[in-house]
Amino acid sequence: MSETLAEGRTLADLAIEVRSKNAGPFWVTMELFMRDSEGYAIVADESFINEQVVSGLYGVDARSIQIFRIPSLNVVKVSFPRPISQGSLRDRDIHAGQHHVPLARMRVLGE
């Protein structure tokens, strides 16, 4: 996965994998699997990825967002209630498997 645009690296560029998936019918969860501790330090920085930022990317209430930072795996995990219930008329991604993209294309700051 590479979505490098004009300038600066995206989180996808620094990650082994960025993925999203349902966690049951009413939640979606996504993970940034970073390549190394340097990449992890960037995404684990609470001023870079936090509830407000995720709220802006996905249009969900910041108070409903859970973020887990797991240094032993170089992983940041984000979970929130599905804004559109699974299988409903407006659900275009039944497994929520393509909803990592807004997160994955975030640009690294200061590059």
Partner 1 sequence: MDNRPGDVVRVLAATGMLGSGFPEATIERGLELGADVISVDGGSTDSGPYYLGSASSKSTAQAVKRDLRHLLRASARANIPLIVGSCGTSGTDKGVDWVAGIVADVMREEGIDLKVARIYSEQDAAHLKDDVAAGRVRALAPAGELDSETLESCTHIVGVMGHEPIVEALQGGAQVVLAGRATDTAVAAAYPLMKGMPAGPTWHAAKIVECGGLCTTNPREGGVLATIDATGFSIEPLSPDAACTPISVAAHMLYETVNPFEMREPDGTLDVRDAVYTAVDDRVVRVEGSRFHVADQYTIKLEGARISGFETVSFSAVRDPIILGQIDAWAGFLRETIIGRVRQTLELEPSEYAFDIRLYGHNAVLDELEPESAPPREVGVMLLVNAGDQATATAVAKVANPLMLHLPAHDMDYLPSLAFPYSPAEIERGPAYEFVLNHAVDTTPTKLFRTKMGEASYV
Range 84-109 burial, b when 16+ CB lie within 10 A, else e: eebeeeeeeeeebeebbeebbbbbee
N residues, the chain: 111
Task: Give least dist CB 6 to partner 1, A.
Answer: 13
64, 81 in Cβ contact below 8 A?
yes
- The C-alpha angle 96, 46, 101, rounded to 5 degrees, equals 25
Binding residue (CB under 8 A) for partner 1 from 26, 35, 38, 62: 26
Binding residue (CB under 8 A) for partner 1 from 6, 7, 47, 87: 87
Binding segment for partner 1 (CB under 8 A), chosen from 6-14, 21-29, 36-44, 46-54, is: 21-29
Residues of the shown chain interacting with partner 1 in the complex, contacts defined by CB under 8 A: 21-27, 29, 31, 33, 57-59, 64, 66, 68, 70, 72-73, 75, 77, 79, 81, 85-90, 92-95, 98-99, 101-102, 105
